[in-house]
């Protein structure tokens, strides 16, 4: 493949332009030459949050992998504890498998905080008699209480109450509304 003289000159100029663009300007950036109070990044891979003059911040390079994993685990547990409503299938007080990890997080929290109190409020949907729904709400609250106790919480930290069908989360007579009303709510005091 033959290149014309004009194409060779263009390629040569293009190459020279690339080399010129990649060269330094001669400024020493290591001595705070950024023109502001921004400091260079620690090249050892760590960073400091609120480092101030007294170096009182938290350095990520000084944190061990175990410490990082423990902080992540605590954050996950706190996020799980944000879930305080647990739903049940029709006419049952059996805890659903997907609720178990969240309830375990609550049990661990209660175990490590003996002064913390929680009220377990059992609810049912509008189907069935008032008496039956009160009893079903109580069975649901007691099931959650037993689960928490087995996993480390103290019985003295918990109070159970049943509202039956008296405090629906959603008004309506549809399967969707009923599913949202069959629940136990944890109310921390």
* Rounded Cα gap, residues 103 and 153, in angstroms: 11
CA distances from 39 to 26, 36, 105 (A): 19, 8, 42
Tokens of 169: 């989360």
- Looking at residue 34, what is its pLDDT? 46
- In this structure, is residue 139 part of a structural domain? yes
Choose among 185, 188, 180: nearest CA to 122.
185
Angle at 152 between CA 181 and CA 77, to 5 degrees: 65
- In this structure, is residue 5 part of a structural domain? no
- In this structure, is residue 42 part of a structural domain? no
Q: How many folded domains does the chain comprise?
A: 1
- In this structure, is residue 144 part of a structural domain? yes
Q: What are the respective helix, strand and coil percentages of the chain, to the nearest 5?
A: 45, 15, 40
* Rounded Cα gap, residues 9 and 30, in angstroms: 38
Tokens of 98: 């997907």
* Rounded Cα gap, residues 153 and 158, in angstroms: 9
- In this structure, is residue 1 part of a structural domain? no
CA distances from 30 to 11, 38, 41, 151 (A): 35, 11, 10, 56
- In this structure, is residue 29 part of a structural domain? no
For residues 89 and 97, the answer to whether their CB atoms sit within 8 Å is no
- Looking at residue 93, what is its pLDDT? 96
The domain that contains 128 carries what CATH number? Answer: 3.30.1330.60
- Looking at residue 96, what is its pLDDT? 96
- Looking at residue 161, what is its pLDDT? 98
- In this structure, is residue 105 part of a structural domain? yes
- In this structure, is residue 135 part of a structural domain? yes
For residues 47 and 60, the answer to whether their CB atoms sit within 8 Å is yes
| In the block, residue with structure tokens 């309830």 | 103
- Looking at residue 32, what is its pLDDT? 45
Kindly give the confidence (pLDDT) of every residue in the chain, 189 residues in length, as a single tens digit, with 9 standing for 90 and above.
455 656 665 666 566 565 555 555 555 544 444 444 555 554 555 544 554 555 555 555 567 888 888 888 888 888 888 999 999 999 999 999 999 999 999 999 999 999 999 999 999 999 999 999 999 999 999 999 999 999 999 999 999 999 999 999 999 999 999 999 999 999 998
* Rounded Cα gap, residues 95 and 148, in angstroms: 12
Domain that holds residue 172: 85-188
């Amino acid at each position: 493949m033959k290149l014309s003289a004009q194409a060779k000159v263009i390629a040569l100029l293009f190459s020279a332009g690339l080399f010129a663009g990649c060269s330094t300007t001669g400024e020493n950036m290591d001595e705070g030459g950024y023109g502001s109070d921004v400091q260079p990044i620690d090249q050892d891979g760590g960073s400091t949050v609120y480092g101030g003059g007294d170096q009182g911040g938290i350095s990520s390079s000084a944190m061990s992998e175990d410490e990082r994993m423990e902080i992540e685990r605590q954050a996950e547990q706190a996020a799980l504890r944000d879930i305080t409503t647990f739903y049940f299938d029709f006419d049952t007080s059996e805890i659903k498998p997907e609720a178990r990890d969240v309830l375990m997080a609550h049990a661990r929290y209660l175990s490590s905080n003996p002064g913390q109190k929680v009220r377990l409020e059992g609810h049912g949907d509008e189907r069935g008699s008032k008496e039956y729904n009160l009893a079903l709400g109580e069975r649901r609250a007691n099931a959650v209480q037993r689960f928490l106790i087995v996993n480390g919480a103290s019985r003295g930290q918990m109070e159970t109450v049943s509202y039956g069908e008296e405090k629906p989360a959603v008004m309506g007579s549809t399967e969707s509304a009923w599913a949202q009303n069959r629940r136990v709510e944890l109310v921390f005091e």
